[in-house]
């Protein structure tokens, strides 16, 4: 499939910001259609839910950045400490020029570490961030000013569509980074399918670098998702404000509260919005009228935590070979470098 036909099929518009920066963005209708379609289904189930990908409008992305700086949210700083070790350890795995593809462009601090590692090894660097959030536009511009030899092509879309885009792009080797334990937000079955999809989009010499959060003490985990400043609560509640502004609904965020628990059997943090009273909410653009009971929970996110045997199982089931694994001192988090099994 040619780039033009992907552009047409996915309804992308290309925006050229600079000769070193362009991005592809799908039409607004596509997003709104998806939100309506998904919510009509997930909010009509016995266990109401809202998919976590809808957290990330501009405000949600800003709140997530604040979460990443919280003392209780050990994930970001721990992953950064492991990435810093890679200055010495990654180069031996990179033979020839690589393009950096990042799923979820996330914190630019992490991206900068990877760009700096690649920068030492090759003259020109291509960076393809794929992120559902428009925040990608601002973060890309900042990087442009800081790295002269950097060329960026942003894709503002979900990971699946972004991978499809990459797969058909060209023959250059890709280092795909999927950091922050974002993989942990997928359920087991979907996670396996997603890894197979990444595997299918990779060429034989491509690499995948994935960050995964590890099983640890329950109190450490629950604190990370229920911080003392209430930023995670704001982040969770913001999804309702987003739905209000995009679909003219009338969720009253004062009538919901943030609810978190660690499910030890499933090794995952579960996040909900708990209704403080019996209430009726209208979502006109989705043609929905919701009856929500007092204390009813709307599920908004799972965040899975992994053991080493589980990590090995997941990657062997999805056609990957583990090339290396790196940890922090406390073994809170790990980075796994993978190639396709040939
Ligand atoms: C993006 N993702 C990896 C975060 C996590 O830790 O699961 C999302 C998050 N939700 C609440 N705090 C952080």
Q: Which of 2-6, 82-86, 164-168, 324-328 has the weakest average pLDDT?
A: 2-6
- pLDDT one-digit tens code per residue, 216-273: 999 999 999 999 999 999 999 999 999 999 999 999 999 999 999 999 999 999 999 9
Q: Collect all residues with Cβ–Cβ distance below 8 Å to 336 and sequence separation of at least 6.
A: 209, 210, 211, 212, 311, 315, 322, 324, 325
Residue whose CA lies nearest to ligand 1 atom number 1: 182
What separation in Å is there between the alpha carbon of 157 and the centre of ligand 1?
19
Closest residue by Cα to residue 154 from 31, 60, 25, 19: 25
Exposed/middle/buried for 324, CB within 10 Å: 0-12, 13-18, 19+? Answer: middle
Measured from the CB, is residue 181 less than 6 Å from ligand 1?
A: yes
Q: Which residue has the higher pLDDT, 9 or 321?
A: 321
Pairing of strands 288-292, 279-283: antiparallel
Residue 59 vs residues 72, 87, 165: alpha-carbon distances, Å: 21, 33, 27
Measured from the CB, is residue 185 less than 6 Å from ligand 1?
A: yes
- pLDDT one-digit tens code per residue, 133-144: 766 677 777 888
- pLDDT one-digit tens code per residue, 54-101: 998 889 989 999 999 999 999 999 999 999 999 999 999 999 999 999
The tokens for 162 are 């972004």
What separation in Å is there between the alpha carbon of 303 and the centre of ligand 1?
7
Residue 6 pLDDT exceeds 70: no
Helix H or strand E segment including 93: none
- pLDDT one-digit tens code per residue, 152-191: 998 888 898 888 888 878 889 999 999 999 999 999 999 9
What separation in Å is there between the alpha carbon of 6 and the centre of ligand 1?
30
Residue whose CA lies nearest to ligand 1 atom number 12: 225
Question: Residue 286 and residue 213: Cα distance in Å, rounded?
Answer: 36
Q: Three-class SS of residue 254? A: helix
Measured from the CB, is residue 67 less than 6 Å from ligand 1?
A: yes
Residue in the block written with tokens 């405000």? 59
Residue 294 pLDDT exceeds 60: yes
Question: Residue 147 and residue 86: Cα distance in Å, rounded?
Answer: 20
Question: For position 221, what pLDDT does the model report?
Answer: 98
Residue 18 pLDDT exceeds 80: yes
Bridge-partner residues for 289, per DSSP?
A: 282
Residue whose CA lies nearest to ligand 1 atom number 7: 303
Measured from the CB, is residue 236 less than 6 Å from ligand 1?
A: no
Indicate left, alpha or beta for 235 from its phi (over 0: left) and psi (-120 to 50: alpha): alpha
Q: Which ligand 1 atom lies nearest to the CA of residue 303?
A: 7
Residue 107 pLDDT level (bands cut at 50, 70, 90): low
What separation in Å is there between the alpha carbon of 5 and the centre of ligand 1?
34
Q: Which ligand 1 atom lies nearest to the CA of residue 106?
A: 1
Measured from the CB, is residue 301 less than 6 Å from ligand 1?
A: yes
Q: Which ligand 1 atom lies nearest to the CA of residue 185?
A: 7
Measured from the CB, is residue 201 less than 6 Å from ligand 1?
A: no
Rg (CA), the chain: 20
Closest residue by Cα to residue 107 from 71, 83, 72: 83
């Amino acid at each position: 499939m040619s780039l033009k036909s992907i552009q047409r099929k996915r309804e992308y518009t290309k925006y050229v910001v600079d000769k070193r920066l362009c991005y592809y963005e799908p039409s607004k209708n596509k997003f709104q259609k998806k939100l309506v379609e998904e919510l009509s289904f997930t909010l009509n189930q016995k266990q109401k839910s809202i998919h976590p990908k809808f957290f990330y409008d501009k405000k949600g992305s800003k709140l997530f950045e604040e979460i990443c700086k919280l003392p209780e949210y050990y994930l970001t700083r721990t992953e950064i400490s492991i990435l810093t070790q890679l200055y010495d350890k990654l180069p031996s795995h990179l033979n020839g020029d690589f393009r950096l593809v990042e799923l979820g462009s996330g914190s630019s601090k992490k991206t900068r570490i990877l760009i700096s590692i690649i920068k030492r090894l090759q003259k020109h660097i291509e960076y393809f961030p794929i992120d559902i959030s428009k925040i990608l536009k601002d973060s890309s511009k900042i990087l442009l000013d800081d790295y002269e030899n950097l060329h960026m092509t942003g894709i503002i879309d979900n990971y699946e569509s972004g991978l499809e885009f990459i797969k058909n792009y060209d023959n250059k080797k890709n280092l795909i980074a999927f950091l922050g334990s974002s993989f942990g937000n997928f359920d087991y079955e979907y996670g396996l399918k997603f890894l197979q999809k990444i595997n299918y989009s990779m060429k034989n010499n491509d690499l995948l670098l994935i960050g995964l959060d590890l099983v640890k003490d329950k109190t450490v985990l629950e604190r990370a998702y229920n911080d003392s400043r209430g930023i995670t609560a704001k982040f969770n509640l913001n999804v309702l404000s987003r739905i209000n502004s995009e679909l003219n609904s009338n969720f009253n965020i004062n009538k919901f509260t943030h609810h978190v628990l660690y499910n030890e059997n499933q090794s995952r943090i579960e996040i909900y919005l708990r209704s403080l009273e019996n209430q009726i909410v209208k979502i006109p653009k989705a043609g929905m009228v919701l009856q929500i009971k007092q204390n009813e929970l709307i599920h908004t996110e799972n965040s899975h935590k992994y053991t080493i045997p589980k990590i090995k199982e997941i990657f062997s089931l999805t056609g990957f070979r583990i090339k290396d694994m790196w940890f922090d001192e406390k073994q809170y988090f790990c980075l796994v470098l993978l190639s396709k099994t040939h």
